[in-house]
Structure 1
Amino acid sequence: MHRDILIAAALAPVLAWTGPATAEPLIYGLQVEQAERRFDDGSDLYAWDFDALAGTDELKLVWRSEAEYLTESSRFETLENQLRLQMPISTFFDAAVGVRLDTPAGEDRAYGVVGVKGLAPQWFELDADLYVGETSFVRVEAEYEGLITNRIILTPSLELDTPLGDDEALGVGAFAPTLEVGARLSYDLLDRAVSPYIGVHYERRFGETADLARAEGEQRDTLYFVVGTKMLF
């Protein structure tokens, strides 16, 4: 009896030391895909797109933020913030659920979010999300990093935002999408931690969404020259 107690007492520090090693390690980071200024003929704006995450390989909490800030009128054209729980469903894909809140200088909107994120064949980064709210949306994003050299990377990207209903306050018509296409040429300064880039960004509205934009004196499509940087911490 006493021997068992002594053995247990001797092993306790070892068990206490080795126990946490079996727990999932905590990971955290910040990935800034875009922090840029966009220029066209008549105006310019600032834009950002980043993910901040904390958690484990099995479950992450992700704060995703995207925005466009018009310098001429000193207001946000778009401002999206999301809180998402992300978990693996296969070797290359995660599922995500969460909430999204839009708070531009106009109509605020809140959505529930369900989606998938991962690497498609040929190493395309793919996001597909359903936003459920007063007016629901489907958003599909695709991006590919093409190495020209070990430090110079060309990144084409595509985003298709399709509303599933009419919402004149937001300037969208049912099944009349907005398309964004870009190409950014970056140079890795610090092992991909900081990568300044230049490029182009094109936006095009279709159908009733384009008609509503023209009624507000906005263009159906816009081509920007961009200067910015990627960051990874």
Structure 2
Amino acid sequence: MKMTKRGFTVSLLAIAVNNMSFAHEAADPLISMVSINQLEQRLNNDSQSDDLDISSWNADVWLGKNLGKLWLKTEGEFVDGQRVESELQVLYSHAIAPYWDLQIGWRGDFNQDQNQHWFAVGLQGLAPYFFEIDSALYFGEGGQTALRIDAEYELMLTQKLILSPELETTLYSRNAPKYEQGSGLAKIDAGLRLRYEIRREFAPYIGVNWSKKYGNTADLARHATSDVETMEWLIGVKLWY
């Protein structure tokens, strides 16, 4: 069968478009990562708590392509083998600028006495001078709103020895005695971890973590006989694959 010049041109365009589609898929493959940022054992500086077995975790899992990903974030703490608090976030993350992602989704807090659910809107990325920022605004029940900002920096002492300071601040819009949440500045957590990368994917570390509650949140904690300020020494491991 004789092919016209027009038909030949259409065929070439179809082949080109098809090849471009395959090239695009190859250039933007489906990728994933599991990162256990903190898996650690803690020792409380309070002599009354020295006999407690305290362990905690902080981990991320993401799956997706270059611009859009599904993120899972989780953290929590065990005391004497019993889970006292944990958090899970399920987020859709979309790149909006070089090194910055907008994240939207759900956060759930699961504590011993009650659970709390939030709608989350966050911004995560790399700020100038290589500060890693993870900030989010949370909208909860009863009109409660929370703002949390986490900043971390990695100082390369050697090719394998890395000092990592971290600061996290939490604020609430109103008092919620049920959850020990007070309006205004609620809590500051500051940590310092020194890790040694045996491999890039496996790095044990030692460190210290300080935490203090403020304002109405501190008053609610005292009323519930909870700790207002803690200092903990820790040993742990960071790994990813």
TM-score scaled to structure 1, two decimals? 0.91
Alignment of 1:156-167 (within 5 A): 156-167=165-176
| Larger CA deviation: 15-24 vs 204-213 | 15-24
Q: Which residue of 20, 33, 39 maps to 1:35?
A: 39
Query: What are the ranges of 5 or more consecutive residues in structure 2 without an aligned counterpart?
Result: none
Cα distance, 1:169 vs. partner? 1.4
Counterpart for residue 110 of structure 1: 117
Alignment of 1:192-207 (within 5 A): 192-207=200-215
Counterpart for residue 78 of structure 1: 85
Q: Which residue of 18, 43, 65 maps to 1:56?
A: 65
Query: SS of the residue aligned with 1:140?
Result: strand
Query: SS of the residue aligned with 1:218?
Result: coil
RMSD across aligned C-alpha pairs, in angstroms?
Answer: 2.2
Q: Which residue of 6, 21, 24 maps to 1:19?
A: 21
Query: What are the ranges of 5 or more consecutive residues in structure 1 without an aligned counterpart?
Result: none
Distance 2:82 2:2 in 1: 75
Query: Displaced runs of 4+ in structure 1, greater than 4 A?
Result: 1-18
Distance 2:173 2:230 in 1: 23
Alignment of 1:177-188 (within 5 A): 177-188=186-197
State the percentage of identical aligned residues: 30
Q: Which residue of 60, 68, 91 maps to 2:98?
A: 91
Cα distance, 1:8 vs. partner? 8.8
Cα distance, 1:216 vs. partner? 2.0
Q: Which residue of 121, 131, 138 maps to 2:138?
A: 131
Counterpart for residue 168 of structure 1: 177
Distance 1:37 1:13 in 2: 59
Distance 2:216 2:191 in 1: 23
Counterpart of 2:217, as a letter, is T
Query: SS of the residue aligned with 2:97?
Result: coil
Counterpart of 2:204, as a letter, is P
Query: SS of the residue aligned with 1:113?
Result: strand
Does 2:226 correspond to 1:218? yes
Distance 1:131 1:58 in 2: 23
Query: SS of the residue aligned with 2:231?
Result: strand
Counterpart of 1:127, as a letter, is D
User: Which structure carries more helix by proportion?
Assistant: 2
Distance 2:22 2:115 in 1: 44
Cα distance, 1:87 vs. partner? 1.0
Distance 1:199 1:53 in 2: 27
Cα distance, 1:27 vs. partner? 1.0
Q: Please say if residues 75 and 105 of structure 1, whose CA atoms lie closer than 8 Å, have aligned partners that are also in contact.
A: no
Deviations 1:186-230 (A, max 9, x none): 00011x201110000011000111111122222210000011111
Distance 2:180 2:82 in 1: 17
Distance 1:16 1:117 in 2: 35
Query: SS of the residue aligned with 1:226?
Result: strand
Q: Please say if residues 60 and 86 of structure 1, whose CA atoms lie closer than 8 Å, have aligned partners that are also in contact.
A: yes
